[in-house]
Amino acid sequence: MIIRKIEWKDNAQIAKVIRDIFDELDAPKTGTAYADPILDTLYEVYQKPRSVYYVVEKDGQVLGGGGIAPLENASEEYCELQKMYFAPEIRGLGLAQEIIEKGLVFAKEQGFEKCYLETLPFMKAAQKLYHRVGFQYLDQPLGCTGHNSCDVWMIKEL
């Protein structure tokens, strides 16, 4: 398996991975990444300054990914860990942690001081991973992500 930066040709595959996971988990589709208008154009979105998105590729197929970008409607010190989703066949292999670590190194290089994330309450395995790499729970959201169904908020000092 290869972890690399997203390419234009990955847009449809990573969007499908993300949507399939929402279907698999019977997760809310409104107020989450599923309904993001940018979901089909992640390559273009992550070409913006201080942004990066990594994908996991196996045998030419994208099976997951995660990104870092400035936190919308927040001060410049905040970035957000975004769109962290992995197909079932690659979960539990340490790839999510590897992408998070790569993303946090990138975030520090870009001058961010804090990394924020949002997730769904029933995504317990993800929360456990986030906590293990140093994220702490918050009592309220930061910025304005539009993900009003994601009511678990976490932050990490970089």
What pLDDT digit, counting tens, does each position of 102-148 carry?
999 999 999 999 999 999 888 889 999 999 999 999 999 887 665 55
Tell me what pLDDT residue 149 has.
Answer: 58
Rounded percentage of the chain residues whose pLDDT exceeds 70: 94
The CATH topology of domain 2-157 is Aminopeptidase (3.40.630)
Please check whether residue 62 is in contact with residue 10, taking contact to mean a CB–CB distance below 8 angstroms: yes
Q: Which tens digit of pLDDT belongs to each residue from 3-19?
A: 999 999 999 999 999 99
Q: Which two tokens stand for residue 55?
A: 């994908």
d(CA 88, CA 21): 8
Please check whether residue 15 is in contact with residue 35, taking contact to mean a CB–CB distance below 8 angstroms: no
Sequence-distant (6+) residues with CB within 8 A of 24 are 88
Q: Are strands 114-119 and 78-86 parallel, antiparallel or unpaired?
A: parallel
Beta bridge partners of 55: 4, 65
Sequence-distant (6+) residues with CB within 8 A of 66 are 53, 54, 81, 82, 83, 84, 85, 96, 99, 100, 103
Decide if pLDDT at 26 tops 90: no
d(CA 47, CA 134): 27
Q: Where are the beta strands (DSSP E) in the chain?
A: 2-5, 52-58, 61-70, 78-86, 114-119, 136-138, 152-157
Domain spans in the chain, listed from the N-terminal domain onward:
2-157
Q: Which tens digit of pLDDT belongs to each residue from 47-105?
A: 999 999 999 999 999 999 999 999 988 899 999 999 999 999 999 999 999 999 999 99
Q: 103 or 22: which carries more pLDDT confidence?
A: 103
